Structure 1
Amino acid sequence: MSEELVIRTLEKRDRAEWEVLWLGYNAFYGRSGETALAPEISQMTWTRFFDPYEPVHAMVAERGGKLLGLVHFLYHRSTIQIAPSCYLQDLFTAADARGLGVGRALIEAVYEHAKAAGIPRVYWQTRETNVAAMQLYDKVAEKPGFVIYHKKL
């Protein structure tokens, strides 16, 4: 792959390719088949990316006109600092593009987006079993040692 990797804001024309990546991301985390997200959730997620009043953002990695990865992130308030924080919620690279720097480039793009917005902190979570991704994450961020709890209501 000799063409340059481009990280850019998601555009409405990307819907079909984004959806393939989005479904792949959700399948990776066990959200497929009977446990798939309801279509209205994916539709609302897509709509939020283009609503200027939403704090949700999306970028994609593209090479040669093909989308290779996606990243979704959102800004939110914090009780421990005045400036908002950035939560990197979803990061996914197509299987045939893994190991080519796509994930790192998407993370770095989120860092730059947050920095330009005056946001001093980017964080995310992953499953303990996502060993391949954690090899990258250990190089680009610090692991603070927190354990996450949640309860579905």
Structure 2
Amino acid sequence: MTLTIRSATPDDIDAIVGFIHALAAYEKLAHAVKADPATLARYLFGPHPMAEVLIAETDGAAIGFALFFHNFSTFEGRPGLYLEDLFVKPEARGIGAGRALLARLAQIALDRDCARLEWSVLDWNAPAIAVYRAIGAQPMDEWTVQRLDGDALQALAATAPITA
């Protein structure tokens, strides 16, 4: 069995959608998935891509993915990579695909002169946390993720001053 990591292409969109649904089910968030192939294709492979995807394969079959994008650290004065999602099919876990995806992301971060690679993990996901500790990742205990979406996002945007 040969494990490879490659950049996704538009031909992978159905696999990416499948991975997103499988990840959402694992995280008990299946009800929250709104992504569809056309929208994802536009934002991943359209004229102004907003994110990138790596695909993990064994012998040509997709077994996992990592979706990431650039952020920026004002303190570092340099870009970073933010890993939005990483998922490996349950039947393919234990062969190093997750670690290989993370290693490739680390290499991409270095190649692009990024200061850091960051991500969030659900506090109950002990298997993932164990992998992250094993590769040297550290929790950011003093930080709490904040989110604004839906009606709250719309309400705040409606108060924005007029811009020139």
TM-score by length of 2: 0.81
**Aligned match of 1:49:** 44
Q: Distance in 1 between matches of 2:22 and 2:80?
A: 27
Q: Report which structure shows greater RCO (CA 8 Å, sep ≥6).
A: 1
Q: Distance in 2 between matches of 1:146 and 1:93?
A: 29
Secondary structure of the equivalent of 1:77? strand
**Equivalent residues of 1:55, 1:76 under 8 A apart:** no
**Aligned match of 2:162:** none
**Aligned match of 1:31:** 29
Could you say if the C-alpha distance between residues 43 and 130 of structure 1 is closer, same or farther in structure 2, counting changes exceeding 3 Å?
A: farther
Could you say if the C-alpha distance between residues 83 and 65 of structure 1 is closer, same or farther in structure 2, counting changes exceeding 3 Å?
A: same
**Equivalent residues of 1:93, 1:103 under 8 A apart:** yes
**Aligned match of 1:66:** 61
Q: Which amino acid aligns with 2:138?
A: E
Secondary structure of the equivalent of 1:53? coil
> Is 2:117 aligned against 1:122?
yes
Secondary structure of the equivalent of 2:39? helix
Q: Distance in 2 between matches of 1:135 and 1:145?
A: 16
**Equivalent residues of 2:53, 2:67 under 8 A apart:** yes
Q: Distance in 2 between matches of 1:92 and 1:62?
A: 12
Report the RMSD for the aligned CA atoms in angstroms: 1.8
**Equivalent residues of 1:5, 1:63 under 8 A apart:** yes
Structure 1, unaligned runs of 5 or more: none
Aligned equivalent of 1:15, options 2, 13, 16: 13
Secondary structure of the equivalent of 1:104? helix
Shift of 1:97: 0.6
* Deviations 1:14-71, CA, capped at 9 Å, x for gaps: 2222222121012122222xx232245x643332221363341110101112101000
**Aligned match of 1:150:** 146
Q: Distance in 2 between matches of 1:116 and 1:52?
A: 23
Q: Distance in 1 between matches of 2:72 and 2:147?
A: 22
Select between 10-19 and 49-58 the one with higher mean Cα deviation: 49-58
**Equivalent residues of 1:21, 1:69 under 8 A apart:** yes
Aligned residues, how many?
148
Q: Distance in 1 between matches of 2:61 and 2:142?
A: 37
Q: Which amino acid aligns with 1:115?
A: L
Could you say if the C-alpha distance between residues 45 and 148 of structure 1 is closer, same or farther in structure 2, counting changes exceeding 3 Å?
A: farther
Shift of 1:114: 1.2
